[in-house]
A and B are shown apart, each in its own frame.
Chain A
Amino acid sequence: MKMATKTFKRPDGRKADEIRPMQAKVGIVPNADGSALFSFGDTIAIAAVYGPKKMHPQHQQDPEKGTLRCRYNMLSFSVDDRIRPGPSRRSTEISKITEWALEPSLLIKRYPNMVVDVHVNILQANASTRCAGINAASMALAHAGIPMKNIVSSVSIGKLDKNLVVDLDKEEEDFKEGEGSTDIPITMTPKGEVTHIQLDGRITKEQLKEAIELARKSTKEIYEVQKKALKESITT
């Protein structure tokens, strides 16, 4: 497997397959049915789950199964240039992506006409916010007692010029040398099934396959962090 060459130096000195220090915690919002925080270095996401509950408005109810509804939102001061509060096209798209990333694992067929609301908020952004959000949301859903096949784990794989790296930060997102920066956020189940993948940049099919292999390894690491946070929150 070809990865970043030994001579390639990441801006912050990390190894090619090194994820930034992660932090994971559940139960951070007492009011919520389930909640969690997840961070990749300076990117911090919090998620809260409310539900299952009756779906409003009524016309959005699905009589055959429960509905998952995700909302991704960045706090105005989470980035350098203040974001005007309110939804944007980007946040609307990421909300849907988050839904699609989480949905395959949920067993909510048994909750017709109900909705599970997941609110993801980014407190501080240094790239990979949607991945941090999905990781927090996944933990929050488990914490809320939602029946699930498994939790999912998300990471961004990057290509800086021709070198593949794991967990892009903002500086790397803005990388301009050679072929520039390519961003590939991927979400996987513990079994390696892909529930979400996006690509932004320029890459060959072969390298993309390598990137997915890299993601497989990294999401396993992330899964262990999420699992630990969930387990440690219950004292026996």
Chain B
Amino acid sequence: METTRITGERIKEYLEKGKRFDGRKPEEFREISVETGVSKKAEGSARVKIGKTEVIVGVKLNVTEPYPDSPNKGNLMVTSELLPLSSGRFEYGPPRFPAIELGRLIDRAIRESKFIQLEKLCIKEGEKVWGVFIDIYSINDDGNLIDAAGLGAIIALKTAKLPEYDEKNEKVIYGKLTNKKVPVSKEIPIVVTTHKIGDGIIVDPTIEEEDVSEARITVGGSVEGSLFSIQKGKSKEITIEDFNKILDVSEKTRKKVFSSIEKSLK
């Protein structure tokens, strides 16, 4: 059942005093836990839990033709599935908007930040390049799947290694990983979504808070201060003041989130 209107009023009321139901401050994230190498057939994989929200992200590589407009760069494709397993609200069938949006949000943050050094994934210009697939799956939705997905993607990429490539027979030998890591840049894109509930601004909503949120802004940026991707979601308008505050909150939170997952990025 969706969060009831009266509970929503309480959430707003409480937030006006700067408090949240689970005792967190408005700019506080739930506990983040990270596990890498959770799917051995993937060239890189990660399980990220933010509170009870859980996602699994896998990186697969293949050797293929480059896209015509980038003959000397590797390919990148990010997909996301909101598995019916993870919530009674997700129905079986082709991906609907929320799943599509999530994939595209993470895609933009990774692509625009040039986190993956695609030029280094060229094998033979115009003919053969490495293709990188990032597949995101929700395992339990208790709010904020977007940010969990973003973390899962960068951690899976950071730990991903290239499989052996038999050039003569033009075959990838899966199961045999080289020691070559997928080339990634030092500047890491962190995705943080900020929500507006009543007059309050929070990060990392639980599913209850997400239900009553009126507007959200997803920002992909680095701790060095660059912003790569922004998307406003949901139907309520926000003032410029709100927006500026949101940018500040994103920046602060991004740094905190980064330090809590730094270990997994080594």
Contacts and interface: CB of A to CB of B under 8 A. Distances in A.
Q: Judge A-B direct contact (beta carbons within 8 Å).
A: yes
A81 interface: yes
Interface in B111-149: 133, 135, 137, 139-142
Contacts of B79: 76, 85
A142 B52 CA distance: 22
Given A29-B140, A81-B174, A85-B81, A76 B58 contact: yes
B76 to A, nearest CB: 14
A50 B135 CA distance: 24
B88 interface: yes
Given A29-B139, A31-B86, A77 B58 contact: yes
Contact of A75 (B58, B87, B95): B58
B197 interface: no
Nearest to B58: A77
Quick one: which of B41, B42, B81, B137 has the most chain A CB within 10 A? B41
A166 to B, nearest CB: 22
Given A75-B137, A76-B133, A76-B135, A123 B85 contact: no
A31 B142 contact: yes
Contacts of A29: 85-86, 139-140
A22 B263 CA distance: 30
Contacts of A2: none
A43 to B, nearest CB: 10
A31 B141 contact: yes
Contacts of B62: 81-82
Nearest to A118: B85
Nearest to B207: A31
B142 A123 contact: no
Interface in A26-46: 29-32, 35, 42, 46
B234 interface: no
B233 interface: no
B11 interface: no
Interface in A44-73: 46-48, 50, 53, 71, 73
B88 A77 contact: no
A181 B149 CA distance: 40
A135 interface: no
A133 B42 CA distance: 20
Interface in B3-43: 38-42
Contact of B39 (A50, A78, A85, A119): A78
Given A30-B52, A85-B79, A77 B60 contact: yes
B98 interface: no
A21 interface: no
Nearest to A53: B88
Contacts of A50: 84, 88
Given A80-B174, A117-B92, 12 more contacts: A30-B52, A31-B88, A48-B86, A73-B83, A75-B39, A75-B56, A76-B60, A77-B41, A77-B58, A77-B133, A119-B83, A121-B85
Interface of A: 29-32, 35, 42, 46-48, 50, 53, 71, 73, 75-82, 85-86, 117, 119, 121, 123-125
Of all A-B residue pairs in the complex, the 5 with the closest CB atoms, nearest first, are: A77-B58, A80-B174, A77-B42, A119-B85, A82-B60
